[in-house]
């Protein structure tokens, strides 16, 4: 079905933003991308069909141009990775808040334009009081990354209530999948796969019992598309698999997929790591039909994509962020 006329702006074209753009174009949404970083040739090819603008969202010229004729904005621009944020919280705030606030200010003047803002369901709740964690659970992040993400949420909620912007916040669990830049240490699953393929050890913090909820990136894109078909209104939604997996389970899975011996470099637990987090996705399922991809299936797809790009199989020794 054609969505001609329902122009969507995606701000940020990292790993998640790229997949969202790809699926929007495939679903025939007229799509524009605003990203602060120039894209390499492979990424430009993958988002072919979308209008690309390279510039900062907190620069009025670029933002105004990107918003022209737009019916909905997807805000997927990020700041630093969790470990980097803990080391430099001021920089994470500088990268994260100004472009978001500029976008919210611009939407004040565009009545009826909706907003979907991506947040972190893995960090904003802090140490869970119960599992799985629903949207009513208190938010008490224990990391700089989680605090910055929660601050972004609060600004979205404030602007939504005060200026009647139909904004929804998606608290995403640990997103993984094809084309995730594991060479930066972003994402446990692709990083583990890449290191095993390169015959390098996996860096594991603690005894491997840490549990996370892993969300396949294609599922997140599917959720976004289905939510766009609903009447725009303020929402706060967990988006995850609803299933927890330990690092030890991932280690076994990576060994099975690659059929290679897995080497482990064990290190002390980091202070910003929550021991266990699994998201309750019943609210999301009350709105749309959603069946998450099995971890085994999503991991195999990620593995096949890595094998198709041999240049990505070399890992620098300093890249150990998992």
Residue 200 belongs to domain with CATH number: 3.90.25.10
For residue 1, is it within any domain?
no
Same domain, 44 and 170: yes
Expressed as residue numbers, the domain containing 98 is 7-175+215-239
Same domain, 201 and 307: yes
Same domain, 81 and 64: yes
Could you read off the pLDDT of 216-275 as tens digits, one per residue? 999 999 999 999 999 989 999 999 999 999 999 999 999 999 999 999 999 999 888 899
Task: Give the per-residue pLDDT at 308.
Answer: 85
Same domain, 96 and 186: no
Residue 75 belongs to domain with CATH number: 3.40.50.720
Distance in angstroms between the alpha carbons of the first and the last residue of the chain? 40
Label residue 95 left, alpha or beta by phi (over 0 means left) and psi (-120 to 50 means alpha). Answer: alpha
Same domain, 197 and 111: no
Task: Give the per-residue pLDDT at 322.
Answer: 40
For residue 317, is it within any domain?
no
For residue 32, is it within any domain?
yes
Same domain, 168 and 248: no
Same domain, 191 and 235: no
For residue 181, is it within any domain?
yes
Long-range contacts of 65-68 (CB under 8 A, 24+ apart): 66/9, 66/11, 66/32, 66/34, 67/9, 67/106, 67/110, 67/113
How many structural domains does the chain have? 2
CA neighbor of 120 nearest in space, from 92, 103, 102, 141: 141
How far is 177 from 190, CA to CA, in rounded Å? 7
How far is 125 from 31, CA to CA, in rounded Å? 32
Could you read off the pLDDT of 1-25 as tens digits, one per residue? 345 569 999 999 999 999 999 999 9
Interhelix angle 188-197/247-258, rounded to 10 degrees, is: 40
Could you read off the pLDDT of 155-194 as tens digits, one per residue? 999 999 999 999 999 999 999 999 998 766 568 999 999 9
Residue pair 40/55 in contact by the 8 Å Cβ criterion: no
Residue pair 74/10 in contact by the 8 Å Cβ criterion: yes
CA neighbor of 159 nearest in space, from 203, 199, 107: 107
Same domain, 205 and 142: no
**What secondary structure letter does DSSP report for 184?**
G
pTM metric for this prediction: 0.94
How far is 134 from 5, CA to CA, in rounded Å? 35
């Amino acid at each position: 079905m054609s969505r001609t006329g329902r122009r969507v702006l995606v701000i940020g074209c990292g790993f998640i933003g790229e997949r969202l753009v790809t699926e929007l174009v495939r679903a025939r949404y007229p799509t524009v991308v605003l990203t602060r970083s120039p894209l390499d040739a492979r990424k430009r090819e993958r988002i072919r069909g979308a209008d690309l603008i390279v510039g900062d969202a907190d620069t009025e010229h670029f933002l105004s141009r990107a918003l022209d004729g737009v019916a909905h904005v997807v805000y997927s621009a990020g700041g630093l990775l969790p470990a980097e944020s803990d080391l430099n919280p001021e920089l994470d705030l500088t990268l994260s808040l100004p472009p978001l606030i500029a976008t919210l200010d611009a939407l004040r003047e565009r009545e009826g334009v909706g907003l979907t803002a991506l947040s972190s369901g893995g960090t904003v709740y802090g140490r869970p009081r119960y599992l799985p964690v629903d949207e009513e659970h208190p938010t008490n992040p224990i990391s700089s990354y989680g605090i910055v993400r929660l601050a972004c949420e609060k600004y979205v909620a404030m602007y939504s209530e005060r200026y009647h912007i139909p904004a929804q916040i998606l608290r995403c669990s640990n997103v993984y999948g094809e084309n995730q830049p594991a060479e930066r240490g972003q994402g446990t699953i692709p990083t583990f796969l890449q290191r095993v393929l390169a015959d390098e050890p996996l860096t594991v913090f603690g005894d491997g019992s840490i549990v996370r909820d892993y969300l396949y990136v294609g599922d997140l894109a599917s959720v976004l598309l289905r939510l766009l078909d609903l009447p725009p209104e303020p929402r706060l939604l967990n988006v995850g698999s609803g299933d927890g997996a330990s690092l030890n389970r991932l280690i076994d899975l990576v060994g099975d997929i690659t059929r290679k011996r897995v080497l482990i470099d064990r290190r002390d637990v980091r202070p910003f790591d929550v021991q266990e987090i699994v998201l309750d996705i019943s609210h999301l399922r009350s709105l749309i039909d959603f069946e998450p991809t099995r971890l085994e299936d999503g991991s195999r797809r990620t593995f096949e994509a890595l094998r198709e790009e041999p240049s990505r199989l070399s890992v620098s020794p300093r890249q150990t962020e998992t």
